[in-house]
Amino acid sequence: MSFQQIFNKPPETEASAPGRVNLLGEHTDYNDGFVLPTAIPQCTTVQLGFSSDRQHHFYSENFNEQVSILDINYTPSGFASYIFGCIEVLQQAGYTIPSLFVYVKSSVPMGSGLSSSAALEVATLRAIRKLLNLPINDVEVAQLAQKAEIHYAGVQCGIMDQIASSLADTEHILFLDTRTLERRVMPLPDGAEIVVIDSGVPRTLASSGYNQRRAECEQAARSLGVKALRDITIVEALEILPEPLRRRARHVVTENNRVLEVLQGVSSQRFGELMNASHASLRDDYEVSVPALDTLVDMLQKTPGVFGARLTGAGFGGACVALVTAGEARSITTRILEQYNQAGYSGQILVPSWEL
């Protein structure tokens, strides 16, 4: 069903935004830390038109679901909550948003840790900006998108996903200091390319342990007398913390240090070693992995041509990312997926895009 078929008129405009995969810097963004995402080829497209009945009407092609907002005091659930949140934060910022027809279609995998929600938010805000000619830059789009997710989708997320969707591309890594928003565009490691494989185990951020981990980090920072765990750089400083706060904080401190090492320039081999260490930290200290992710990562790490691999995204299911020898992605992913699925799982290749 097209926009025309759903709303009986053609769209006025449209905009798109990509999903992202994070190579290093997991669960550091809400600790004011450092991250290294890159955009993926899959994207979300939002088409807009003016509604004639003073009500918002949202349609998702992926879910074949339509939601109408009849009461401005009612916050919808599901995909509509992200769109509604974007409209609300724009109005809170002082912009008058007319009633809209909103049509969404997406190739960003959902529940895989590749930021389908951020892609939806950024695409929605870009489309509204274009439709109404709003004076909002790309960083402000990301900040508004983050507010929408926190206040209307109930996920206490950091800024990384929205910044990556708004500013990153598929050819580079985006270093981001989430406290200062200092950014640096970096090339992919020499002789390497990125592979992303979905574990087949979906996860839902708002109902997972994500918010609990964030609360544990905030408690650890208070105990250490700092604004955020970003301000601790030496692991030994964490010894005064009780468990599990000590392990949670240890992951954040060591993960930030891994990102900063990459910033100084490392080989593909060393980048892969840092990814492997990141997964071990996420599994053991942060406890956000699951058996399927550990199995998939282990298979990747043992495969010739793979520099390193780790879970990506919040964890509790979702996808794994690997850095592999350039030109070998097809053979590696095909071999790994066959091995993984023979072990009783149901994985899927997400990146490179030739597998779409």
The per-residue pLDDT for range 296-341, each reduced to its tens digit, is: 999 999 999 999 999 998 899 999 999 999 999 999 999 999 999 9
204 pLDDT more than 80: no
Q: Which pLDDT value is given to residue 276?
A: 98
Residues 79 and 8 in one domain: yes
Residues 99 and 214 in one domain: no
Residues 166 and 192 in one domain: no
Domain final position from 166, 186, 206: 186
Residues 138 and 213 in one domain: no
Residues 111 and 178 in one domain: yes
Q: Which pLDDT value is given to residue 208?
A: 65
3-state secondary structure of 177: strand
Q: Which domain holds residue 19?
A: 3-186
Q: What is the pLDDT of residues 102-153, one digit of tens each?
A: 999 999 988 777 889 999 999 999 999 999 999 999 999 999 999 999 999 8
What are the structure tokens assigned to 224, written together? 């250490």
For the chain, how many structural domains are there in total? 2
CATH classification of the domain holding 251: 3.30.70.890
Domain final position from 170, 186, 202: 186
What are the catalytic residues? 161
CA distance 289 to 284: 8
Q: Which pLDDT value is given to residue 18?
A: 97
- pLDDT band of 205, cuts 50, 70, 90: low
CA distance 46 to 102: 7
pTM reported for the whole predicted model: 0.90
Q: What is the pLDDT of residues 150-200, one digit of tens each?
A: 999 888 788 999 999 999 999 999 999 999 999 999 999 999 999 999 999
Q: Are 25 and 286 in contact (CB under 8 A)?
A: no
- pLDDT band of 355, cuts 50, 70, 90: very low
